[in-house]
């Protein structure tokens, strides 16, 4: 690599180097609060409603809001009456420092793979919606769960709005049996605004729509950036509706900004939602909601006003994206064509009867919901509207690393360990498992959890140099030990690992360093290895750092047990402990 390339590489990684150094050497900053939504893509939603409540509860707090558009978002928040906060640009040097040192970390999705919560930090994930669309391992791209699963394993609390969401997310992100934080079911902060009746009147007055029937169309974001056909479909829809809306009806449209840029809004009865309001504030001024697969339909139940689902592509969407439930089964008005949608708008109900689904999906929302969640985060206090659950079992957790050499053998072995009183966590780089092995992975017994990992080992400039030079690794053993310990924390978060196992199926298998801070360490030698191979592999290891050698080769056990610390045992003897 040229000197110029090295300088460029250093500049590109300067933030990560700073994060590593700050995490190691700077104290936690008491009462500092970092709030992030969609990797800084939004300052609205859950975090918007938490800001004033946190400031009220934690009087000495210093609140930082992450943004990809600092000037624009700071201006928006100030215009909405928020103050005494600071905007920090996502992935800036200040961002890396705060992520490493702030006492409270609050997110509605995830932090990037380099994030590694440290002791003394409190991390809360308040999820951004109720899952209708399939997620995590329930999707076709099952390894997309990797960083979400990793963030959940670090979180002190994962907060959702209902028991349905709790069950879906615990299963989809492999939290059952192993997650040892609190799974919280409670009110969603953003839904508290639906109980502000005066706000509704104020917005309708400001927009001069007091005597109008006001509807809002909020389609789900389909993730198709720049899709021309999607924009054309919307244009066709809006043109048709504009011709069929009566003079007393106004339709506001809330679109993803990438879709919004492609549309020209030259309609008499259709407008974009004004940017001057947070979207849930604006929804308080409406008389009905039109959506499709967006979880906003569940939040809007708090309004006790009609909901129309425009499901023109239901079969295609269900086939390609996957849904946990069919929205056509909900007690909302459904439309599958533009003519049906126009008719549904004309005949929209003045009264609705959503009691059952409201009790299921938004059972704890109330006017004080944002305050209740803020109090839970800051001082741990709860109310009748907050339910806490523990998902972990009391079984020992045995983490086994998979690589391309051992994956087939380990997956086969796991199918036979259903009766073992232990929870096995199979962790591996996402490239290790082939598509053909997905069914086998998905059919594992309940006491086997899989965990695809991603991201690189963190390190500062000197650390990276040491990792690349094999001779330096030998000399700087303490530095490598620290790096390995930090990497295990980055991967497993707060999960209690009782046994960290390296399964060796061949002489080319990955030999992981022993990390005793995560529990006991074990090397599990395949029964297919010869005595010569077993001895060769063990000779490469620092056996003083290993607690157990699991082998069926008695000759190897007899040979090494005389000169090494580990306890040698057979596979059945090891498993019999549990």
- pLDDT tens by residue, 229-285: 577 888 899 999 999 999 999 999 998 777 777 787 788 999 999 999 999 999 999
- In this structure, are residues 430 and 455 in contact, taking their beta carbons and an 8 Å threshold? no
Q: What is the DSSP string of 379-445?
A: H----TT-EEE--B-SSPEEEEE--TTTHHHHHHHHTT-TTSSSEEEEEEETTTS-GGGHHHHHT--
Q: What CATH number does the domain containing 301 carry?
A: 3.40.50.12580
pLDDT number for residue 469: 65
Residue 472 within any structural domain of the chain: no
What are the E-state strand segments in 21-76? 29-36, 62-67
Do 16 and 134 belong to one domain? yes
158-198 pLDDT, tens digit per residue, is 999 999 999 999 999 999 999 999 999 999 999 999 999 99
CATH (domain of 554) = 3.40.50
Domain co-membership, 377 together with 412:
no
Mean pLDDT of 115-140: 96
**20/458 Cα distance (integer angstroms):** 7
Question: Minimal CA–CA distance to 189: which of 393, 419, 373?
Answer: 373
Indicate if 176 and 297 belong to the same structural domain.
no
248, part of any domain: yes
Q: Which residue has the higher pLDDT, 122 or 225?
A: 122
* Cβ count near 494 (within 10 Å): 16
Is 257 within a domain?
Answer: yes
Euclidean distance between the first and the last CA atom of the chain, given in angstroms as a whole number: 51
Residues 439, 356 share a domain: no
Lowest mean pLDDT among 166-175, 409-418, 542-551: 542-551
In a domain, residue 99? The reply is: yes
47 contacts 65 by C-beta, under 8 angstroms: yes
Supply the pLDDT for residue 3. 66
Q: Is the pLDDT of residue 225 over 90?
A: no
Quote the CA–CA distance of 128 and 159 in Å, as a whole number: 9
Cβ–Cβ < 8 Å for 486, 458: yes
Q: Is 499 helix (H, G, I), strand (E, B) or coil?
A: strand
pLDDT tens across 275-319, in order? 999 999 999 999 999 999 999 999 999 999 999 999 999 999 999
Are 445 and 558 members of one domain?
Answer: yes
Verify that 163 and 260 share a domain, yes or no.
Answer: no
Instruction: Tell me the pairing of strands 270-272 and 448-453.
Output: unpaired
Give the CA distances from residue 231 to residues 86, 105, 255, 302, 525, in Å, rounded to whole numbers and listed in that order: 36, 37, 11, 31, 57
Each residue's pLDDT tens digit, 445-460: 999 999 999 888 888 8
- Smallest CA-to-CA distance from 136 within 456, 449, 458, 487 is with 449
**Number of C-alpha atoms within 13 angstroms, CB side, residue 233?**
12
Domains in the chain: how many in total? 3
For residue 93, the enclosing domain spans 3-191+370-389
Are residue 425 and residue 569 in the same domain, yes or no?
Answer: yes
Structure tokens at 177: 């049996």
Q: What six digits make up the tokens of 112?
A: 């990037």
Q: Is residue 477 one of the residues assigned to a domain?
A: no
For residue 82, being part of any structural domain is answered with yes
Taking the C-alpha atoms of residue 510 and residue 403, their distance in angstroms, rounded to an integer, is 7
Say whether pLDDT at 416 is over 60: yes
Instruction: CATH number of the domain at 30, please.
Output: 3.40.50.11820
Q: Are 509 and 405 in contact (CB under 8 A)?
A: yes
CB crowding 537-554: b at 16 or more within 10 Å, else e: bbeebebeebbbbbbebe
Q: How many whole angstroms from its chain centre is CA 263? A: 31
Q: Is 330 helix (H, G, I), strand (E, B) or coil?
A: coil
Examine the domain organization and report whether 266 and 245 are in the same domain: yes
Give the whole-angstrom CA distance, residue 15 versus residue 183.
32
Residue 542 has pLDDT above 90, yes or no: no
Confidence (pLDDT) at 226? 46
Whole-angstrom distance, CA of residue 131 vs CA of residue 169:
8
| Assigned domain for 315 exists | yes
Collect all residues with Cβ–Cβ distance below 8 Å to 27 and sequence separation of at least 6. Answer: 101
Which among 367, 321, 14 is positioned nearest to 190, based on CA atoms?
Answer: 367
Q: What is the pLDDT of residue 112?
A: 97
**174 dihedral zone (left: phi>0; alpha: psi -120 to 50; beta):** left
Q: Are residues 220 and 259 in the same domain?
A: yes
Are 410 and 312 members of one domain? no
Residue 374 pLDDT = 98
Distance CA 373, CA 326 (A): 30
Task: Classify 118 in phi/psi space as left (phi over 0), alpha (psi -120 to 50) or beta.
Answer: beta
> What is the C-alpha separation between 525 and 568, in angstroms, rounded?
11
- For residues 219 and 232, give the distance between their C-alpha atoms in angstroms, rounded to a whole number: 14
**SS3 of 312, please?**
coil
Cα separations in angstroms, 347 against 207, 237, 270: 24, 18, 18
Mean pLDDT of all residues in 3-11: 65
Same domain, 111 and 220: no
Instruction: List CB contacts of 62: < 8 A, sequence separation 6 or more.
Output: 29, 31, 32, 33, 86
**Domain presence at residue 485:** no
- Quick count: other Cβ atoms within 10 Å of Cβ 90? 16
Q: State whether 406 and 545 are in the same domain.
A: yes
Q: Which of 222, 217, 218, 237 is nearest to 317 (CA)?
A: 222
Q: How large is the C-alpha radius of gyration of the chain?
A: 27
The two structure tokens encoding residue 314: 């239901």
């Amino acid at each position: 690599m040229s000197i110029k390339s090295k300088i460029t590489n250093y500049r590109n990684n300067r933030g990560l180097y700073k994060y590593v150094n700050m995490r190691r050497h700077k104290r936690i900053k008491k009462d500092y609060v970092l709030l992030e939504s969609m990797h800084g893509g939004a300052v609205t939603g859950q975090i918007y409603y938490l800001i004033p409540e946190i400031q009220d509860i934690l009087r000495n707090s210093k609140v930082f809001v992450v943004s990809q558009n600092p000037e624009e978002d700071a201006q928006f928040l100030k215009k909405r009456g928020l103050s005494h906060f600071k905007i920090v640009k996502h992935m800036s040097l200040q961002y890396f420092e705060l992520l490493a040192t702030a006492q409270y970390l609050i997110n509605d999705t995830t932090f990037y793979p380099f994030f590694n919560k440290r002791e003394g930090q409190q991390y809360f994930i308040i999820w951004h919606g109720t899952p209708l669309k399939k997620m995590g391992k329930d999707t076709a791209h099952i390894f997309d769960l990797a960083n979400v699963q990793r963030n959940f394993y670090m979180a002190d609390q994962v907060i959702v709005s209902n028991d349905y969401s709790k069950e879906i997310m615990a299963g989809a992100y492999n939290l059952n049996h192993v997650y040892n934080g609190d799974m919280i079911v409670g009110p969603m902060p953003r839904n508290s605004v639906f109980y502000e009746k005066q706000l509704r009147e104020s917005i309708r007055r400001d927009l001069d729509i007091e005597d109008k029937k006001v509807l809002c169309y909020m389609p789900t974001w389909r993730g198709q950036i720049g899709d021309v056909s999607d924009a054309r479909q919307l244009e066709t829809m809006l043109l048709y509706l504009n011709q069929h809306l009566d003079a007393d009806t106004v339709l506001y449209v809330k679109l993803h900004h990438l879709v919004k840029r492609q549309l020209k809004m030259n309609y008499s009865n259709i407008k974009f939602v004004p940017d001057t309001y947070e979207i849930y504030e604006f929804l308080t001024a409406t008389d009905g909601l039109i959506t499709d697969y967006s979880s906003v339909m569940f939040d809007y139940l708090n309004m006790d006003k009609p909901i129309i689902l425009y499901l023109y592509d239901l079969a295609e969407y269900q086939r390609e994206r996957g849904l946990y439930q069919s929205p056509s089964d909900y007690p909302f008005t459904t439309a599958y064509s533009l003519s049906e949608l126009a008719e549904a708008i004309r005949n929209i109900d003045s009264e609705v009867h959503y009691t059952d689904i409201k009790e299921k999906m938004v059972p704890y929302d109330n006017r004080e919901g944002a305050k209740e969640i803020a109090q839970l985060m800051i001082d741990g206090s709860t109310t009748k509207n907050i339910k806490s659950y523990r998902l972990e079992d009391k079984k020992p957790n045995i983490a086994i690393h998979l690589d391309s050499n051992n994956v087939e053998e380990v997956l086969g072995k796991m199918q036979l360990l259903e009766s073992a009183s232990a929870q096995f966590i199979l962790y591996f780089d996402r490239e290790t498992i082939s598509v053909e092995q997905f069914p086998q992975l998905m059919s594992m017994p309940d006491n086997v959890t899989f965990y695809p990992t991603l991201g690189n080992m963190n390190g500062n400039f000197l650390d990276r140099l040491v990792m690349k030079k094999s001779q330096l690794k030998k000399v700087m053993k303490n530095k490598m030990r620290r790096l390995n310990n930090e990497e295990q924390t980055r991967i497993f978060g707060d999960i209690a690992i009782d046994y960290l196992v390296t399964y060796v199926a061949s002489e080319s298998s990955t030999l992981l360093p022993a990390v005793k801070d995560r529990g006991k360490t074990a090397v599990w030698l395949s029964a297919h290895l010869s005595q010569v191979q077993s001895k060769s592999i063990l000779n490469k290891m620092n056996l003083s750092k290993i607690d157990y050698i699991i082998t069926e080769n008695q000759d190897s056990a007899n040979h090494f047990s005389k000169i090494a610390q580990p306890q040698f045992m057979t596979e059945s003897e090891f498993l019999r402990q549990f």
